[in-house]
């Protein structure tokens, strides 16, 4: 088994090296404890140990057409978010220090969730709050802001609010949001990504 794993790691590493010159279109959501992009890129050897260690199959290897990111680990929050495991087995399995075990669940530092108020059901006056209830850091990373509805003396708006400094970026909110087109109404912007990336994501870019 070890021989097969070693051969597979060599193959993905070689594939990544061949494609290293092709830039990635958007920053990827990295597993917990990845830290800054340059730090991670310098240490990740694309061995796949974090993928194997995740009990929820939340980590995938970037496809070969992902340019220099090919075969590096990422989380697709919409299909399977990170559960913020208490012991972070993914980071603990990393042999190079590319992933370091966060001291607490809230310290995963994968990214920050951002709400699109134009598409969020709660901001349109409906009751939803799915993201709020899905958040493993409920009332820390997401709170509900109860406010009067504009032009309506009876009904209130139950608006979710992300507390950026307390959001781990796990993506459970994004996974569960009932809004789908062109994108979920709450999206995790990966650590280090910029406004351009967020605009692309909220417009439905993968």
Closer Cβ to ligand SF4, 22 or 83, answer by number? 83
Closer Cβ to ligand SF4, 65 or 79, answer by number? 79
DSSP state of 107: G
Least gap, CB of 106 to ligand SF4 (angstroms): 7
Closer Cβ to ligand SF4, 13 or 129, answer by number? 129
**CA dihedral (136, 113, 45, 107) positive or negative:** negative
Spatial distance between the Cα atoms of 141 and 109, rounded to a whole number of angstroms: 12
**β-bridge pairing 73-75 and 111-115:** unpaired
With contact defined as beta carbons under 8 Å apart, do 49 and 100 qualify? no
Least gap, CB of 7 to ligand SF4 (angstroms): 24
Least gap, CB of 14 to ligand SF4 (angstroms): 25
Spatial distance between the Cα atoms of 126 and 8, rounded to a whole number of angstroms: 49
Footprint of ligand SF4 (CB under 6 A): 31-32, 53-54, 56, 58-59, 82-85, 88-90, 113, 115, 120-122, 128-131, 134-135, 137, 141-142, 160, 162, 167-173, 177-179, 185-186, 188
Least gap, CB of 17 to ligand SF4 (angstroms): 25
Output the six-digit token pair for 189: 């912007």
Closer Cβ to ligand SF4, 19 or 91, answer by number? 91
What backbone torsions phi and psi does residue 158 show, to the nearest 5 degrees?
Answer: -105, 85
Least gap, CB of 69 to ligand SF4 (angstroms): 17
Q: Chain-centre distance of CA 14, in angstroms?
A: 26
DSSP state of 138: B
Least gap, CB of 56 to ligand SF4 (angstroms): 4
Q: Characterize 141-150 residue by residue with b for buried, 16 or more Cβ atoms within 10 angstroms of its Cβ, and e for exposed.
A: bbbbeeeeee
Closer Cβ to ligand SF4, 70 or 132, answer by number? 132
Closer Cβ to ligand SF4, 98 or 167, answer by number? 167
């Amino acid at each position: 088994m070890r021989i097969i794993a070693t051969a597979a790691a060599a193959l993905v590493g070689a594939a990544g090296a061949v494609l290293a010159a092709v830039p990635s279109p958007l920053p990827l959501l990295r597993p917990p404890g990845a830290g800054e992009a340059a730090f991670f890129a310098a240490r990740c050897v694309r061995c796949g140990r974090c993928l194997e260690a995740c009990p929820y199959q939340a980590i995938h290897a970037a496809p070969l057409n992902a340019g220099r990111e090919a075969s590096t680990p990422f989380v697709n929050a919409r299909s399977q978010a990170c559960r913020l495991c208490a012991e972070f087995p993914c980071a603990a399995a990393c042999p190079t220090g590319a992933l370091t075990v966060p001291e607490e669940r809230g310290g995963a530092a994968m990214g920050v969730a951002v709400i699109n108020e134009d598409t969020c059901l709660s901001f349109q006056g409906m009751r939803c709050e799915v993201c709020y209830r899905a958040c493993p850091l409920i009332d820390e990373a997401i709170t509900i802001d109860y406010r009067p509805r504009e032009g309506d003396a009876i009904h209130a708006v139950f608006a979710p609010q992300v507390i950026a400094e307390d959001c781990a970026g796990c993506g459970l909110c994004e996974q569960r949001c009932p809004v789908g087109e062109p994108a979920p109404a709450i999206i995790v912007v990966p650590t280090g990504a910029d406004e351009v990336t967020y605009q692309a994501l909220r417009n439905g870019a993968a």
